[in-house]
Protein backbone atom coordinates (compact mmCIF):
# COMPACT_ATOMS: atom_id res chain seq x y z
CA UNK A 1 0.00 0.00 0.00
CA UNK A 2 1.43 3.41 -0.93
CA UNK A 3 1.59 6.23 1.59
CA UNK A 4 -1.26 8.23 0.07
CA UNK A 5 -3.60 5.24 0.19
CA UNK A 6 -2.47 4.49 3.76
CA UNK A 7 -3.22 8.08 4.79
CA UNK A 8 -6.69 8.03 3.27
CA UNK A 9 -7.57 4.86 5.18
CA UNK A 10 -7.52 6.86 8.42
CA UNK A 11 -10.78 8.31 9.73
CA UNK A 12 -9.84 11.31 11.87
CA UNK A 13 -7.61 14.21 10.80
CA UNK A 14 -6.30 16.73 13.34
CA UNK A 15 -4.67 19.89 12.00
CA UNK A 16 -2.43 22.49 13.57
CA UNK A 17 -3.35 25.96 12.31
CA UNK A 18 -0.44 28.41 11.94
CA UNK A 19 2.22 27.05 9.62
CA UNK A 20 0.13 24.01 8.72
CA UNK A 21 -3.16 25.19 7.26
CA UNK A 22 -2.60 28.93 7.35
CA UNK A 23 0.39 31.08 6.47
CA UNK A 24 0.03 33.75 9.15
CA UNK A 25 3.63 34.97 9.08
CA UNK A 26 2.90 38.46 7.72
CA UNK A 27 0.23 39.18 10.33
CA UNK A 28 2.17 37.71 13.25
CA UNK A 29 5.52 39.34 12.47
CA UNK A 30 3.85 42.64 11.65
CA UNK A 31 1.98 42.64 14.96
CA UNK A 32 5.16 41.80 16.88
CA UNK A 33 6.94 44.75 15.27
CA UNK A 34 4.00 47.04 16.08
CA UNK A 35 3.95 45.90 19.70
CA UNK A 36 7.62 46.64 20.33
CA UNK A 37 7.47 49.93 18.42
CA UNK A 38 4.45 51.13 20.40
CA UNK A 39 6.16 50.24 23.69
CA UNK A 40 9.48 51.72 22.65
CA UNK A 41 11.35 48.54 23.57
CA UNK A 42 14.17 46.97 21.56
CA UNK A 43 14.23 43.41 20.25
CA UNK A 44 16.65 41.34 18.19
CA UNK A 45 14.96 40.87 14.82
CA UNK A 46 17.68 38.46 13.71
CA UNK A 47 16.43 35.93 16.28
CA UNK A 48 12.78 36.29 15.36
CA UNK A 49 11.32 33.01 14.13
CA UNK A 50 7.66 32.16 13.81
CA UNK A 51 6.64 28.73 15.06
CA UNK A 52 7.46 28.66 18.79
CA UNK A 53 4.89 29.72 21.38
CA UNK A 54 4.56 33.48 21.87
CA UNK A 55 6.27 33.57 25.33
CA UNK A 56 9.24 31.73 23.83
CA UNK A 57 9.44 34.15 20.90
CA UNK A 58 9.38 37.15 23.21
CA UNK A 59 11.99 35.66 25.55
CA UNK A 60 14.29 34.88 22.61
CA UNK A 61 14.15 38.26 20.91
CA UNK A 62 14.15 40.40 24.07
CA UNK A 63 15.87 38.53 26.93
CA UNK A 64 16.55 41.85 28.69
CA UNK A 65 12.87 42.23 29.58
CA UNK A 66 11.55 40.99 32.91
CA UNK A 67 8.49 38.76 33.21
CA UNK A 68 6.03 41.63 33.67
CA UNK A 69 7.42 43.41 30.60
CA UNK A 70 7.19 40.23 28.52
CA UNK A 71 3.55 39.89 29.51
CA UNK A 72 3.00 43.48 28.44
CA UNK A 73 4.53 42.71 25.05
CA UNK A 74 2.25 39.67 24.70
CA UNK A 75 -0.86 41.68 25.56
CA UNK A 76 0.12 44.47 23.19
CA UNK A 77 0.85 41.97 20.42
CA UNK A 78 -2.56 40.35 20.84
CA UNK A 79 -4.28 43.72 20.61
CA UNK A 80 -2.52 44.62 17.35
CA UNK A 81 -2.99 41.10 15.99
CA UNK A 82 -6.75 41.18 16.57
CA UNK A 83 -7.08 44.73 15.26
CA UNK A 84 -5.47 43.69 11.98
CA UNK A 85 -8.35 41.27 11.30
CA UNK A 86 -5.87 38.69 9.91
CA UNK A 87 -6.04 40.34 6.48
CA UNK A 88 -2.66 38.95 5.39
CA UNK A 89 -3.24 35.39 6.62
CA UNK A 90 -3.85 32.94 3.77
CA UNK A 91 -4.27 29.21 3.32
CA UNK A 92 -1.30 27.24 2.06
CA UNK A 93 -1.58 26.05 -1.53
CA UNK A 94 -3.82 23.01 -1.83
CA UNK A 95 -4.94 23.10 1.82
CA UNK A 96 -8.59 23.87 1.07
CA UNK A 97 -8.76 21.26 -1.69
CA UNK A 98 -7.24 18.67 0.66
CA UNK A 99 -9.74 19.47 3.41
CA UNK A 100 -12.63 19.24 0.98
CA UNK A 101 -11.32 15.96 -0.45
CA UNK A 102 -11.22 14.52 3.07
CA UNK A 103 -14.76 15.69 3.74
CA UNK A 104 -15.99 14.07 0.52
CA UNK A 105 -14.54 10.79 1.75
CA UNK A 106 -16.44 11.27 5.03
CA UNK A 107 -13.36 11.85 7.16
CA UNK A 108 -13.80 13.82 10.37
CA UNK A 109 -11.72 16.97 10.68
CA UNK A 110 -10.48 18.77 13.80
CA UNK A 111 -8.19 21.69 14.64
CA UNK A 112 -5.65 21.36 17.47
CA UNK A 113 -3.68 24.56 17.96
CA UNK A 114 -1.72 26.52 20.57
CA UNK A 115 -3.52 29.71 19.53
CA UNK A 116 -6.23 30.82 21.99
CA UNK A 117 -9.86 30.12 21.17
CA UNK A 118 -11.03 33.60 20.18
CA UNK A 119 -8.40 34.39 17.52
CA UNK A 120 -8.49 30.78 16.30
CA UNK A 121 -12.20 30.98 15.57
CA UNK A 122 -11.80 34.41 13.98
CA UNK A 123 -8.98 33.24 11.71
CA UNK A 124 -10.89 30.13 10.63
CA UNK A 125 -13.96 32.27 9.92
CA UNK A 126 -11.88 34.77 7.92
CA UNK A 127 -10.38 31.93 5.88
CA UNK A 128 -13.85 30.46 5.26
CA UNK A 129 -13.06 27.02 6.67
CA UNK A 130 -14.51 27.09 10.18
CA UNK A 131 -17.49 24.90 9.27
CA UNK A 132 -15.30 22.14 7.84
CA UNK A 133 -14.24 21.03 11.33
CA UNK A 134 -16.23 19.03 13.84
CA UNK A 135 -14.36 20.62 16.75
CA UNK A 136 -11.75 23.32 17.36
CA UNK A 137 -9.27 22.38 20.10
CA UNK A 138 -7.39 25.26 21.71
CA UNK A 139 -5.41 25.60 24.96
CA UNK A 140 -8.34 27.36 26.64
CA UNK A 141 -11.32 25.47 25.23
CA UNK A 142 -12.04 23.85 28.59
CA UNK A 143 -11.41 27.01 30.58
CA UNK A 144 -8.02 26.00 31.95
CA UNK A 145 -4.77 26.12 29.95
CA UNK A 146 -3.92 22.86 28.21
CA UNK A 147 -0.76 21.92 26.33
CA UNK A 148 -1.22 20.59 22.81
CA UNK A 149 -0.65 16.97 23.92
CA UNK A 150 -3.35 17.51 26.54
CA UNK A 151 -5.65 19.09 23.95
CA UNK A 152 -5.31 16.04 21.72
CA UNK A 153 -5.79 13.54 24.54
CA UNK A 154 -8.87 15.43 25.73
CA UNK A 155 -10.39 15.49 22.24
CA UNK A 156 -9.71 11.78 21.75
CA UNK A 157 -11.56 11.10 24.97
CA UNK A 158 -14.42 13.51 24.19
CA UNK A 159 -15.21 11.94 20.84
CA UNK A 160 -14.30 8.35 21.75
CA UNK A 161 -11.74 8.20 18.95
CA UNK A 162 -9.53 5.21 18.26
CA UNK A 163 -6.10 6.93 18.08
CA UNK A 164 -4.90 4.29 15.63
CA UNK A 165 -7.43 5.71 13.17
CA UNK A 166 -6.29 9.32 13.65
CA UNK A 167 -3.45 11.49 12.38
CA UNK A 168 -2.00 14.76 13.65
CA UNK A 169 -0.89 17.09 10.85
CA UNK A 170 1.60 19.78 11.83
CA UNK A 171 4.68 21.73 10.85
CA UNK A 172 6.85 21.43 13.99
CA UNK A 173 8.45 18.74 16.10
CA UNK A 174 6.15 19.54 19.06
CA UNK A 175 3.16 18.83 16.79
CA UNK A 176 4.59 15.41 16.01
CA UNK A 177 5.37 14.74 19.66
CA UNK A 178 1.83 15.74 20.64
CA UNK A 179 0.34 13.36 18.07
CA UNK A 180 2.48 10.48 19.28
CA UNK A 181 1.59 11.30 22.89
CA UNK A 182 -2.07 10.90 21.97
CA UNK A 183 -1.34 7.58 20.20
CA UNK A 184 -1.98 8.99 16.73
CA UNK A 185 -0.21 8.70 13.41
CA UNK A 186 1.64 11.88 12.44
CA UNK A 187 2.03 13.84 9.22
CA UNK A 188 4.79 16.43 8.85
CA UNK A 189 3.95 19.40 6.63
CA UNK A 190 7.36 20.68 5.59
CA UNK A 191 6.03 23.74 3.78
CA UNK A 192 5.40 25.53 7.08
CA UNK A 193 7.58 26.98 9.82
CA UNK A 194 9.42 23.90 11.07
CA UNK A 195 12.71 24.65 9.37
CA UNK A 196 14.75 23.01 6.65
CA UNK A 197 15.51 19.85 8.62
CA UNK A 198 12.04 19.35 10.07
CA UNK A 199 10.96 16.55 7.74
CA UNK A 200 14.07 14.45 8.29
CA UNK A 201 13.94 14.96 12.05
CA UNK A 202 10.21 14.57 12.50
CA UNK A 203 9.95 10.77 12.62
CA UNK A 204 6.52 11.26 11.07
CA UNK A 205 4.52 8.48 9.47
CA UNK A 206 3.81 10.75 6.50
CA UNK A 207 5.78 13.69 5.13
CA UNK A 208 4.41 16.19 2.61
CA UNK A 209 5.68 19.55 1.40
CA UNK A 210 2.64 20.45 -0.72
CA UNK A 211 -0.96 19.37 -0.19
CA UNK A 212 -1.61 19.14 -3.91
CA UNK A 213 0.31 15.85 -4.07
CA UNK A 214 -2.41 14.31 -1.88
CA UNK A 215 -5.26 15.18 -4.24
pLDDT tens-digit map of 195-208: 878 999 999 999 99
CATH classification of 3-24+89-214, choosing from 3.40.50.720, 3.40.50.1000, 3.30.450.20, 3.40.50.2000?
Answer: 3.40.50.1000
For residue 139, the tally of other CB atoms under 10 A from its CB is 20
For residues 167 and 182, give the distance between their C-alpha atoms in angstroms, rounded to a whole number: 10
- pLDDT tens by residue, 35-59: 999 999 999 999 998 888 899 999 9
pLDDT surpasses 80 at 68:
yes
pLDDT at site 142 = 85
* Domain chopping of the chain, boundaries: 3-24+89-214, 25-83
pLDDT at site 52 = 86
Contacts with 26 (C-beta within 8 Å, 6 or more apart), sequence order: 88, 89
Determine how β-strand 22-23 pairs with β-strand 90-91. Answer: antiparallel
- pLDDT tens by residue, 162-186: 999 999 999 999 999 999 999 999 9
pTM over 0.85: yes
> Exposed, middle or buried, 194 (CB in 10 Å: 0-12/13-18/19+)?
buried
Domain topology for 25-83: DNA polymerase; domain 1 (1.10.150)
Q: CA 190 from chain center: how many Å?
A: 13
Amino acid sequence: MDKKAELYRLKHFFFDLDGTLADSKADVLGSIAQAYESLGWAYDASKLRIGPLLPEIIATISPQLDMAQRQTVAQTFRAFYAAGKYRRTVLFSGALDFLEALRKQEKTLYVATNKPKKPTLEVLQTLGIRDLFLFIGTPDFEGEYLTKPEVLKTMVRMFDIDPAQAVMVGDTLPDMEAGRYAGMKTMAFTGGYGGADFGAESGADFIVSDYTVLL
